[in-house]
Structure 1
Amino acid sequence: MRRAWLWLVKNTLNRVTVRLARAGRGPFALVRHVGRKTGRAYETPLLLARLGDDFVAELTYGPDVSWYRNVEAAGRCRVVVGGREYEIDRIEVCPPDVGLRAFGNPAALVLRLMRRRDFRLLGRKS
């Protein structure tokens, strides 16, 4: 069931949100990463929150999704936020209280209600 849901999201919603993120419109960001098995370049739309110069990602579908496993294996990626591209060279577990604070209200309230507690800090290259 989960696999079918992820396929549906990837082949419908993601196609629309990738376009919005590339254009710097809406709340979406892009994570540009390379497949750990295929070596192909991918773009995955996400909601990211700013935390100083860095970004926080909420792992909606957990740490076993391809984009996160690719980024974790490579130790780096690029994110496109508001039409600007940033190089990421640090991926760390982010405490839930810090992640929720980064998203701010009302997003943090929704994340709390949904019991989301899996966040990652995407650190920008200095």
Structure 2
Amino acid sequence: MTGKAQRVWLTILKNTLNRGTSRMARAGVGPFSIVRHVGRKTGKVYETPLILARAGDDFVAELTYGPEVAWYRNVVAAGRCVVLDRGAEHEITAIEDFPADAGLRAFGNPAALVLRLLRRREFRLLRTGARP
């Protein structure tokens, strides 16, 4: 997908699908979580619905649209965000590259099978402040 086509697609998602999935995530229904992040240029708080996998106390994100999407760039710039998952807020204190094999295992089947078929290889670990 070209840069312009991707921007158009992401705008369509933001104004249609994301509204419904955000409601689902807030209600704790379905596979969605919300990543609350601060705009690196605007300073405004944004909420992005994502499907995240758990890895112990942490979360794994698959970068479906690559590392240039706003939510990811904002989290990297700030070094933190908040994940709302099943009604609970989790402070994310770091974001790191995560090996593809471990990312696929975190999502489990059937999601991992779909991700393999789509050749998804970019995963990030969202670390919570919770440590044993």
Interval containing the TM-score (normalised by the shorter chain) = over 0.9
Give 4+ residue runs of structure 1 displaced > 4 Å after superposition: none
SS in structure 1 of the partner of residue 31 of structure 2:
coil
Measured after TM superposition, the shift of residue 103 of structure 1 is: 0.2
Measured after TM superposition, the shift of residue 124 of structure 1 is: 0.4
Measured after TM superposition, the shift of residue 65 of structure 1 is: 0.2
> Under a length normalisation based on structure 2, what TM-score does the superposition of the two structures give?
0.94
SS in structure 2 of the partner of residue 101 of structure 1:
helix
Is 1:111 matched with 2:131? no
1:91 & 1:6 partners in 2: Cα distance?
22
1:118 & 1:5 partners in 2: Cα distance?
20
Measured after TM superposition, the shift of residue 33 of structure 1 is: 0.3
2:53 & 2:70 partners in 1: Cα distance?
20
- The equivalent residue for 1:59 is 63
- 1:27-83 Cα distance to aligned partner (Å, 9 max, x none): 000000000000000000000000011000000000000000000000000001111
2:51 & 2:16 partners in 1: Cα distance?
17
Amino acid paired to 1:88? I
The number of aligned residues is: 126
- The equivalent residue for 1:69 is 73
Structure 2, gaps ≥5 residues long? none
Measured after TM superposition, the shift of residue 3 of structure 1 is: 1.3
Structure 1, gaps ≥5 residues long? none
CA-based RMSD of the aligned residues comes to 0.6
Superposed counterparts of 1:1-126, under 5 Å: 1-126=5-130
